[in-house]
Chain A
Amino acid sequence: MSEFLKIIDLTARAEEKELLHQVSLEIQEGETHVLLGPNGAGKSTLGYTIMGSPEYEVTGGKIYFQGDDITEEGADKRAKRGIFLSFQNPIEIPGITVSNFLRTALEQLTGERIKLFDFKKRLKNVMDTLQMDQSYADRDLNVGFSGGEKKKAEILQLLMLNPRLAILDETDSGLDVDAVKTVSKGIEEFQKKQGGSLLIITHNAKILEALKVDKTHVLVDGRIVAEGGPELVEDVGQNGFEKYLDKESY
């Protein structure tokens, strides 16, 4: 398949403010892309818009996924197509356990009933990979989870739901070194074993160490201002975004 994710001239706004201006971006199947940018550049907005958040209104441009125009589609439809977004601040869902939730979501995604035994086995395996205590399966989703536990629970969902494209929004922020390691391991697993495509929104080069990065995009003030290979990550790590900011103002 030639086209996987293709974004053309995407313009989006929240309330009265335009946050993305004619952003274009392409990801091929199996690729890992990194999205960098200063705070408030619109990185999360781009992630949320690809997922179809009602918070942002697309006022121009198109999003294609595997050749289909998904610009107007609801989030659940996009999820069925295989798009996944890990949230910066996952919502707490009282009354629904992690295990029940994952099973419901999986059944919705695959359209098939899943045998409880198979499901439990798989869940256990993934939880082991992420060094999560088994008791989390029976806890209400995200309720009373610490910041780190919530991020792990997002990666758990990523590995269980097995999407084609995962957008990870600051999945590494607020984590300690060990947790970053575990989370990276989860992402690596997704990239290598499941062959998934990734769009990683991050500040932190650490999480990228074990991953093969294909392409890097720099977003400033809602515009893509630079694109390059993995070397760009290092460059930004050392020199920050200053030169891109300058470029903007002249």
Chain B
Amino acid sequence: MERIKINHLPGQTWNRLGMNDIEIEKYSFEKNLEGKIREEKEELPGQGIAYCDKDKQGGLQRGTESSFDREEKSDCGSALGDAFVELLEETHMAQVVSLVAEAGEQKTYRMEFGKTEGAACGKFDLLAKQNCEMTVFQYFDDRTAAEQTKDARSGIRNRIRAEKGAYIKLVQVFLGGEREEILNDIGAVLEENAELEVDQIFLGGKKTVSGVLAQLRGRKSSFTSNIAYDIGQDERLDLNLIAKHIGKKTEAQMDVKGVLREGAHKLLRATVDFIPGCSGSVGKENEEVLLMDEEVVNQTVPLILCGEEDVEGAHGASIGRINEEYLFYLKSRGIPEKQIYEMLANARIETVLGKIDDGETRERVMAALVEG
């Protein structure tokens, strides 16, 4: 089987470290992801996503045509890279779900995807027009399937445009079963004063390759990302976060908190890229990893690429055991070490749930944590 490399590190390093990209099998998608979509509280017509052509439903379009024009589409970019985009584009049956929030509107959409056998793809185009607020929840829950097939694969791509002053919040929750592979790509373009927040929670999942590219084109546009993960035995998570500061006074803040249990393998690439001319910009990234067991692989490459003098960039990472002082404080209140670790593991998810600030998301995640 032919293999392709995706999720490239924007500034490459020694190949022997194995962090420059991830290699996956090349395959073609056979169908569209099956799921449901709701706007606010109201269920949209048709069980599941119908993928019918040009059917306009209160800002929701489904079909092979995107609400983006050709140029806008290619413009959004991809964190997973060209090889992944080609894979999706080669799939002629792939349909697009277009979500649009008109100028000044406030919209909330919830999407829910269950188990799919074989290789399925989902393409979502999110267009937030001037000064609107758009919140999109996407839940990928694999555990509901009665039978786990081995070759299940999902390819997901969100293309996002936030016009002047628009606010988009995209929340993705991955409750992994034993699905072989999830490829999840987000590419966004932000205009002046636009804000994008991407919050993601990864619980389990055999192999998840996920990336976010935020192109901060407009002056004072901003990108925040809160990510939490908790993975274990034979689970692999490969992340690629890229904040590209293009306009002046743009801001990015990426926070990743994670828990690795026995047999887990995680790689985080987090990049702040200051393009010449982006004066006054600030980009920060931070990662905290809690290692619960021996036998974990924890890889991190936090990049700062800088071609502009007048910027402020920082990254920090702390990995490993809980510091003694911290442990002592909690123990002195009567909590045993094992419990402290579990408590702190949950605290990481909890912190991101706090940022997401949504009851339904919290319930889903909590339920999964209790089961898991």
Contact = CB atoms under 8 A, between A and B. Distances in A.
Do A and B touch, yes or no (CB under 8 Å, in the complex)?
A: yes
Contacts of A79: 331-335
Interface of A: 51-55, 74-76, 78-80, 84-85, 87, 90-91, 93-96, 101, 104-105, 108-109, 157, 161
B351 A94 contact: yes
B347 A84 contact: no
B329 A90 contact: yes
Interface of B: 257, 324-337, 339, 343-344, 346-348, 350-351, 354
Nearest to B340: A76
Contacts of A104: 335, 339, 343
A85 B335 contact: no
Given A87-B329, A93-B347, A96-B350, A76 B324 contact: no
B357 to A, nearest CB: 12
A223 B327 CA distance: 29
Choose among B325, B330, B350 the residue with the greatest number of A CB atoms under 10 Å from its CB: B330
10 contacts: A51-B332, A74-B331, A76-B336, A87-B329, A87-B332, A95-B350, A95-B351, A96-B344, A108-B333, A108-B339
B10 to A, nearest CB: 29
A161 B285 CA distance: 38
A13 to B, nearest CB: 16
Given A55-B325, A95-B348, A105-B333, 7 more contacts: A51-B328, A74-B331, A75-B328, A76-B335, A87-B329, A96-B344, A108-B334
Given A55-B324, A91-B325, A76 B331 contact: yes
B351 A84 contact: no
Contacts of A51: 328, 332
Nearest to A87: B329
Nearest to B333: A105
A95 B351 CA distance: 5
B332 A96 contact: no
Contact of B343 (A53, A87, A96): A96
A76 B343 CA distance: 15
A198 to B, nearest CB: 16
A56 to B, nearest CB: 10
